[in-house]
A = this chain, B = another copy of it.
Amino acid sequence: MSKKLSGFPEWLPAQERVRQELIATIRRAFELHGYAPLTTRSVEPLSALLSKGGDTDKEIYVVKRLSDPPEKPADLGLHFDLTVPFARFVSENRGKLSFPFRRYQIQPAWRGERPQMGRYREFLQADIDVIGSENLHVRHDGEIVRLLAHTVALLPIPRVRLGVNNRKVLEGAYRALGVEDIVATLRAVDKIDKAGRDKVAEMLSTQGLDAAQVDGVLSLTEPDALSRSFDHPMYREGRAELDTVLAACDDVEGVVADLRIARGLDYYTGTVMEGVFPDHPECSTVCSGGRYDNLAGGKARLPGVGASIGVTRIMGYLDHLGLLPERPGSTAQVLVAVHSDDTRGSSEAVARSLRARGIAALVCHKAWGYGKQIGWADKNGIPYVWMPARDGGAHEVKDVRAGSQTPADPSSWRPSEG
């Protein structure tokens, strides 16, 4: 990673190829499932960003023209997530869209937060959402969880554990226990990983819960929490939804019920999900999402469910885990060697023939001795070197890593890998 400006990571070419592969794999998975691409502008009116909770914990970057007078207040800001622009886009173009509307969106977002591992000031998110008009069946919650789990399983990253919960399960259980301040209780329970069970019990008591209520609330953080049942209509509704979502994913590895997951208290209303690397507890959430009642907040309800994959965060973790390549990485699979400047034309012809069949090829820039050209290929991570035919002989191709060299035909040869 090249990080000369804190919070704005950049990657060397070989690492950027990994990032591009993540993006391409995510895009392909989303498109295979019928999600349409969307790219919104990077800026939104500052007022819209502020009304969506910006600048409390999502520090906004404002944008203005350098030539504007200094006293003119900024009226634009960079979006801090992809949900605000998506909601605005759907509101503006509602009549041109067909519901349920499935879209994916892979774009940067910006937050002026203090940078740390996994938290950046400029970061790429890959979002999917399904939006209904007035209604959206809970089946789509299962669709999103399933697609998210399927997609992250395709990525060259550590194993992901995707925990699923339903906000109604927690709220219904709390209500069944007679707890009144649901949000305060959720906030306290959300701290259990960091603060520990005893500390949370103490917080709940301070909030006025009696011993039975504290026990009941904490029982929901146990691994066997789903074996308990609570007598409240909201609990039963939430359990039914959660069971539907889990059933939709019963053949997908890594999806588990986890009643400890709360997430986005002010936004999500039903299903919530959160993916982590269980083998690397020092890494935070890599993907998350949930169900919300109304995307755009307008009179016409647009209920939806969505998820987001933190691409930059994943790159940061891969870097932290030593899983990113460090050496230069050309995209070329073949370096076509040049015997002499007089025969460069025949090397060019070989390269064109290979490219015509989808094999990325580069002609060496210097007619060095072959050993030096092979060295240049190796230094640039190019796996094959092509030696064009000379004096009626055959073309030959060298596998740089294996060291083997074999005759080859430019119109039919293929690299053994991919």
Given contacts A98-B379, A122-B42, A379-B98, contact A17 B37 (CB under 8 A): yes
Is A36 among interface residues, defined by CB-CB distance under 8 A?
Answer: yes
Determine how close the nearest CB of chain B comes to the CB of A338; give it in whole angstroms: 11
Docked complex Cα distance between A16 and B86 (Å): 14
With contacts A63-B62, A66-B77 taken as known, whether A329 is within 8 angstroms of B36 at the C-beta atoms is yes
A368 on the B face (CB < 8 A): no
Docked-complex contact A67 and B63, CB < 8 angstroms = no
- A144 to chain B minimum Cβ distance, whole angstroms, is 13
Q: Give every chain B residue within 8 A of A59 (Cβ-Cβ).
A: 65-67
- Let me know if A39 is at the binding interface, CB within 8 A: yes
Number of copies of this protein chain within its complex: 2
Q: Which stretch, A163-171, A180-188, A253-261, A355-363, touches the partner chain B?
A: A355-363
Q: Does A265 contact B (CB under 8 A)?
A: no
A74 to B395, CA, bound (A): 59
Question: A34 near B331 (CB under 8 angstroms)?
Answer: yes
Q: Report the Cα distance A367→B13, complex, angstroms.
A: 49
**Complex contact A98–B331 (CB within 8 A):** no
A413 within 8 A of B: no
Measured in the bound complex, the distance between the Cα atoms of B97 and A41 in whole Å is 33
Considering only residues 88-126 of chain A, those with a C-beta below 8 Å from chain B are 89, 92-93, 96-98, 100, 102-103, 108, 110, 112, 122
Which 5 A-B residue pairings sit nearest by Cβ, starting from the closest?
Answer: A34-B362, A34-B332, A13-B36, A8-B41, A65-B112
